[in-house]
Amino acid sequence: MRLPVPAETAFRYLCDPRNRPEWQSSLRSVDVPADEEPHLGQVWRDTTTVGVRPHLETTELVPFRVWAERGRWRGVTATLALHFTELPGGCRVRAEGEVDGRGLWALPAVAAGVLASGAIAADLRKAGRILADRQAP
C-alpha cells in the first residue's frame, strides 16, 4: 500500500495503539495508558466492534522500517507485521499477517484470516487519507 507521507510519519502513526481506533474499522477502543509511547514489549487490549477483546503485544519494533504485533483471544492467535519503505513522495507499507486457531476456534480463525487481507488494506488506505489530510496546508 502506498501512502502519501514519509515512512517515519506513517510508522509513528501506525505503530501507536492509541491511534488505532481512528483508522482501524474493527475497533471501538484501545486500553493502553494515554502517555505510554510505543515500545518493544508494549501490551494493550483492543475492544472490537463485535465485542472481542484480544490482548496484544508489540513483538518487533525497528524504527521507520518494521513493526509487528501478536494478539491472542481465547483459542485464536493472530500476528501482523508492517514493513515500511521510503519512496519519492511517500512510502510503501507492506502488511503480512496470519491467524491461527485451536480446537473449536480453528474454523473461525480460517474465516478471519481470509477476511483480514481486505480489511487491512482498507484500514491502511484510511490511515493514508488521515495522514495526508493532516499534512495538507
Residue with cell 518487533: 60
Tell which residue, 37, 19, 8, 18, has the closest CA to residue 135.
8
Identify the pLDDT of residue 52: 87
Q: What is the CATH number of domain 2-135?
A: 3.30.530.20
Would you list the domain boundaries of the chain?
2-135
Task: Check: CB of residue 62 under 8 Å from CB of residue 50.
Answer: no
Task: Check: CB of residue 27 under 8 Å from CB of residue 49.
Answer: yes
Q: What digits encode the pLDDT tens for the residues 6-40? A: 999 999 999 999 999 999 999 999 999 989 999 99
Identify the pLDDT of residue 47: 94
Q: What angle do CA 115, 116, 118 make, to 5 degrees?
A: 75
Tell which residue, 49, 45, 93, 52, has the closest CA to residue 75.
52
Paired strand residues for 69: 58, 80
Cell of 73: 483471544
Pairing of strands 27-31, 2-3: unpaired
Identify the pLDDT of residue 51: 86
Task: Check: CB of residue 19 under 8 Å from CB of residue 6.
Answer: no
Q: For 8-132, list the strands marked E by DSSP.
A: 27-31, 43-48, 55-62, 66-73, 76-87, 90-101
Intervals of the chain under pLDDT 70:
137
